[in-house]
Amino acid sequence: MNVFALLTIALPAIGSAATFAGGRDRRHAQFWSVAPTAAALFTSLVVLAEHGTDGASVAATSLTPAGSYTLWLGTRVTGLSAQVGILVTVVALCVQVYSLTYMKHDRRYPTYAALVSLFTAAMLLVVFSDDLIVLLVGWEVMGACSYFLIGHYWERRDARYAAIKAFLVTKTGDVPFLIGIGVLGVQAKTFRIDGVLDYVASGQLRYAPLIATLLLCGVVGKSAQFPLHSWLPDAMAGPTPISALIHAATMVAAGMYLVALLYPVFTAAPGVLILMAVIAAITMVGSALAAFAQTDVKRVLAYSTVSQLAYMLGGLAVGGRSAAVLHLLSHGAFKALLFLGAGVVIHRVGSNEMSAMGGLRYRLPITFWTMTVALASLVGVPLFSGWFSKEAILGAAWNASGEFAAPGRIVAVFGMVTIALTAGYATRLWLKMFFGPFPEASPEDSRVEAPSTELVPLIMLAVPAAVFGFVALGQGFFGSWIGGDFGEAISSTVSADLRPEGLTSLIGFVLAALSAAVVWDRWRRDPQADPAVMLGPLRNAALEGFYVDDVIDLVIVQPARAFARVIAFLDTEVIDAYVRGAGVSVRGLGGLLRRVQTGNIQLYLTALFSGVIVIAIVFAGQVR
């Protein structure tokens, strides 16, 4: 089975290399982007089928061991990694197929497809890696691919800035993350995940709060949580399939995957759990409000992604590891579907703005129905997969006890608020896109359904978005598969109950229904108006993302730039002064010597002769 895991990593990597090697040959790129990804999906299914409910299965080798720490190259398959691996390959395949036509008119399609394959390989490396250092390599390659793909339309200024911003902001988190991994590995005397988890389980881990906080920084950066979240909405400057794959379903979820992977490290630090809960609470409510105010469809979905990732972080903060992973998987399916559907709509309408849409229900029926499924899953309409996973998190928060009690209360309260807000913005999105009058409708309108290569991925993703949640119904089935609440190490003893909790489900459903009804009522009275006006004075702030960018600009960017100016001044005016002074003084001395070079040969000879006399006198003095 580890061979198949290795194949799952290698296939997209080979596909990426082959796509790069093919140059501008479009058909070559199409084949080599789709076929290896499909094969990787197959092998990842084999991995899951073979793995069953065992603990971790490790196969690793080290090349030329030297020094105190050895790097282990290999795969570690657990129920968690097998399932996340399937999520990655499914979404990657959908995106590659979707891009066949979506990116048809793009000159740089081969580069794009190769980078998507490379990203897929890097994400699978993170998922299946046996060694934290190798995991970090995959983690950073993902970041680099994200940078290149956000900047795919680099002719546009906003895409360039968004790419740089995404890179810098995630790096801000990655530096503490690297230090955290270092502290962890040095204590455990190994960077292998099994070794680290065993060490943590033995209770010898020191500085657990510090390590957990450092790791959390990387998670907050990668998964776009407050205060490092603002890169994700801007990252929507990239192509829509990239938003679906990287900035909704997989890369941003990698942070949550990492917390689930090293979960014992975090549970060893109760204070960090509260910090996680606070970050999750701020992020989920704030970004849900921001999503309500956005007018750009993709930015709505981006803020929604941030909000849902905060849900997962909240689930992890209250001990609901299985619940959070369940939400990660279901969110990956429905959010990728939402982005791909939004891409179809954007291409047909020719605008990202919601005001340019409306009445698309009959013109794009398949897109309408699949996106309706996804939105229902996002809102948490009962029996859709999002409902199961969200209720599992809320149930875990509600029932949290012991060290999870304090974060549990925070997450439960803010989770309820977020349910209401989520229902509101999802309803607004649904109504503004698919219902109401058609803005500037013309009889010979070209807004017809998308080609089948774009519709098949939508349908493929609609199935898990609708029914995946039923895995939560089996008694401990899903939880035991991914290794219980506390990681693979003690998987046989703990298994989480993910079935929806009666009380929280009821409250959540009532809140969601009320909120959706209020938005619907507001829209029904005036279909032209934006239901976002209900936010009142908050609307502008929410539209601007609560001015977080301005605060960061004021607190970090401006001081950094001022500091840079000081450094530049010191460099150009102080250090360079010595350098320039050396040049000027040499030239001055040269000017003096130049006066001696008159060209009169008799002067030279006189000087020569006097020199000989001086030497002779000195020499004679020494001889005596």
Does residue 189 belong to the site contacting other proteins (CB under 8 A)?
no
Q: Which residue has the tokens 């389980």?
A: 201
Does residue 435 belong to the site contacting other proteins (CB under 8 A)?
no
Q: Rounded distance, CA 244 to CA 333, Å?
A: 10
| Nearest-approach distance from CB 175 to other proteins, in angstroms | 18
Does residue 446 belong to the site contacting other proteins (CB under 8 A)?
no
What one-character-per-residue DSSP string does 289-344 give? HHHHH--BHHHHHHHHHHHHHHHHHHHHHTT-HHHHHHHHHHHHHHHHHHHHHHHH
Options 52, 445, 587, 619; binder of other proteins; rule CB under 8 A: 587
Options 156, 580, 582, 617; binder of other proteins; rule CB under 8 A: 580
Query: Under rule CB under 8 A, which residues in 144-163 are in contact with other proteins?
Result: 158, 161
Q: Rounded distance, CA 316 to CA 225, Å?
A: 14
**Token pair for 619:** 């020499």
Residue 365 or 581 with smaller CB distance to other proteins: 581
| Nearest-approach distance from CB 267 to other proteins, in angstroms | 38
Does residue 602 belong to the site contacting other proteins (CB under 8 A)?
yes
Does residue 558 belong to the site contacting other proteins (CB under 8 A)?
no
| Window contacting other proteins (CB under 8 A); options: 128-136, 220-228, 483-491, 586-594 | 586-594
Residue 593 or 623 with smaller CB distance to other proteins: 593
| Window contacting other proteins (CB under 8 A); options: 55-63, 125-133, 141-149, 575-583 | 575-583
Q: Rounded distance, CA 588 to CA 366, Å?
A: 82
Does residue 598 belong to the site contacting other proteins (CB under 8 A)?
yes
**Token pair for 106:** 């793009």
Does residue 550 belong to the site contacting other proteins (CB under 8 A)?
no
Does residue 568 belong to the site contacting other proteins (CB under 8 A)?
yes
Does residue 299 belong to the site contacting other proteins (CB under 8 A)?
no
Does residue 452 belong to the site contacting other proteins (CB under 8 A)?
no
| Nearest-approach distance from CB 602 to other proteins, in angstroms | 5
Residue 166 or 278 with smaller CB distance to other proteins: 166
**Long-range contacts of residues 282-286, Cβ cutoff 8 Å, at least 24 apart:** 282/226, 283/225, 283/226, 283/229, 283/307, 283/309, 283/310, 283/313, 284/308, 284/310, 284/311, 284/314, 284/414, 284/415, 284/418, 285/414, 285/417, 285/418, 285/421, 286/226, 286/546
Does residue 578 belong to the site contacting other proteins (CB under 8 A)?
no
Does residue 620 belong to the site contacting other proteins (CB under 8 A)?
no
Does residue 589 belong to the site contacting other proteins (CB under 8 A)?
no
| Nearest-approach distance from CB 381 to other proteins, in angstroms | 38
Residue 104 or 580 with smaller CB distance to other proteins: 580
Options 564, 575, 582, 614; binder of other proteins; rule CB under 8 A: 564
Query: Under rule CB under 8 A, which residues in 367-396 are in contact with other proteins?
Result: none
Does residue 521 belong to the site contacting other proteins (CB under 8 A)?
no
Does residue 590 belong to the site contacting other proteins (CB under 8 A)?
yes
Q: Rounded distance, CA 582 to CA 564, Å?
A: 26
Residue 362 or 563 with smaller CB distance to other proteins: 563
* CA-wise closest residue to 178 among 230, 123, 148, 139: 139
| Nearest-approach distance from CB 605 to other proteins, in angstroms | 6
The residues facing 58 across adjacent strands are 76
Residue 14 or 552 with smaller CB distance to other proteins: 552
Q: Which residue has the tokens 């990387």?
A: 218
Distance of CA 525 to the CA centre of its chain: 39
Does residue 605 belong to the site contacting other proteins (CB under 8 A)?
yes
Contact by Cβ (8 Å): 113, 35 = no
SS3 category, 122: helix
SS3 category, 359: coil
The residues facing 73 across adjacent strands are 61
| Window contacting other proteins (CB under 8 A); options: 27-35, 193-201, 409-417, 605-613 | 605-613
| Window contacting other proteins (CB under 8 A); options: 15-23, 174-182, 523-531, 581-589 | 581-589
Over the Cα atoms of the chain, what is R_g?
A: 30
Q: How many angstroms separate the first and last alpha carbons of the chain?
A: 96
Options 493, 528, 585, 606; binder of other proteins; rule CB under 8 A: 606
Options 65, 537, 583, 621; binder of other proteins; rule CB under 8 A: 583
* CA-wise closest residue to 272 among 227, 212, 197, 211: 212
Does residue 597 belong to the site contacting other proteins (CB under 8 A)?
yes
Does residue 551 belong to the site contacting other proteins (CB under 8 A)?
no
Contact by Cβ (8 Å): 186, 68 = no
Does residue 168 belong to the site contacting other proteins (CB under 8 A)?
yes
Q: Which residue has the tokens 């991994």?
A: 181
The residues facing 59 across adjacent strands are 75
**Long-range contacts of residues 612-620, Cβ cutoff 8 Å, at least 24 apart:** none
Does residue 572 belong to the site contacting other proteins (CB under 8 A)?
yes
Query: Position 576: which residue type?
Result: D
| Nearest-approach distance from CB 245 to other proteins, in angstroms | 24
The residues facing 296 across adjacent strands are 353
497: buried, middle or exposed (CB in 10 Å: 19+, 13-18, 0-12)?
middle
Size of the site for other proteins (CB under 8 A): 30
| Nearest-approach distance from CB 178 to other proteins, in angstroms | 22
| Window contacting other proteins (CB under 8 A); options: 302-310, 487-495, 525-533, 563-571 | 563-571
What one-character-per-residue DSSP string does 131-178 give? BHHHHHHHHHHHHHHHHHHHGGGTTSHHHHHHHHHHHHHHHHHHHHHH
Output the furthest CA–CA distance in the chain (Å, rounded). 120
Options 350, 537, 599, 621; binder of other proteins; rule CB under 8 A: 599
DSSP state at residue 57: E
Residues near other proteins, by CB under 8 A: 158, 161, 164-165, 168, 234, 549, 557, 564-565, 568, 572, 576, 580, 583-584, 587, 590-591, 594-595, 597-602, 605-606, 609
